Amino acid sequence: MQGLLALIAVPIALALGPLQRAEAADGPKTWPFSVPAESTIPAGPLGEAIKLGQKVVTDTQSQARAYVGNGLNCSSCHLNGGTVAGAAPFVGLWGVFPEYRSRSASVNALQTRINDCFERSMNGKALPEESPEMIGVLSYVWWLSQGVPTGMDSAGRGFKKILAPATPDKARGKSIYAQKCAACHGIDGAGLNKPDGSYMFPALWGPKAFNIGAGMARLDTAAAFVKANMPLAQGGTLTDQEAYDVAAFFTTQARPDLAGKENDWRKGGKPKDARY
């Protein structure tokens, strides 16, 4: 296993390149969004690591169960395995890390950012940095980022920003949730299970949902995700107001806490929609 990890890690380390992001003075600020064909996954140990990483992302519950504390998969938010623009895609992420993040008040390597998701969105614990699961996810992100210049964001990174209404209405959001969301996520927000117990549709609140420190627990982030992607296969059908109303409803429901959250944004930059 150590030999395999070494073979996988070498091309990753070489591809990481300079620690400084290259900022182009002229030209486009983003790179066109494009997902590589699976036929481009190389043969050999690196290809196997890429495929493992894809499985960890799309079936986290079985592939990384020891590190997950709720019922979600990475692809619950990073739709279609991180390949959907506007749904926190992984395309192009390889070349924009390391990156300073105000929440941690430090420069984060990509491994740190991945573990942020495990500890917050998955309400679990960090992957060991030399574990097959971590090497796999890194390899998968590396492969998805092929062709995107280092230091340049891929179009569709993160969630598409929308205009916040003056006052989101939680009561109206509750009604929208019952009409548009509850059929999949449950009237109690507990999600919908498959016969084998795994989620068909993830929990939005309650003990098996993301914790209060997750990005999706923030109003602006949740509203942007909902607007672009929900209801599933009907993204863009809600108005900005409706997206904010329903996000205001479900983000304020009970969910797991996050130990150490008082250390977030310790050097400033705390967003106005943070839950704590």
| The CATH number, out of the four listed (3.40.50.1220, 3.30.1380.10, 1.10.760.10, 1.20.1070.10), of the domain defined by the range 170-255 | 1.10.760.10
Q: What is the residue extent of each domain of the chain?
A: 2-18+41-154, 170-255
Encode pLDDT of 195-219 as tens digits: 877 789 999 999 999 999 999 999 9
Q: What is the pLDDT of residues 40-94, one digit of tens each?
A: 999 999 999 999 999 999 999 999 999 999 999 999 999 999 999 999 999 999 9
- C-beta neighbour count of 13 within 10 angstroms: 9
Compute the distance between CA of residue 134 and CA of residue 228 in angstroms, rounded to an integer. 29
**Do 168 and 219 meet the contact criterion of CB atoms below 8 Å apart?**
yes
Q: Which CATH number fits domain 2-18+41-154: 3.40.50.150, 3.30.70.990, 1.10.760.10, 3.30.70.120?
A: 1.10.760.10
Peptide linkage before 32 cis (omega within 30 of 0)? no
Specify the amino acid at residue 82: G
Please provide the distance, in angstroms rounded to a whole number, between the alpha carbons at the two ends of the chain.
42
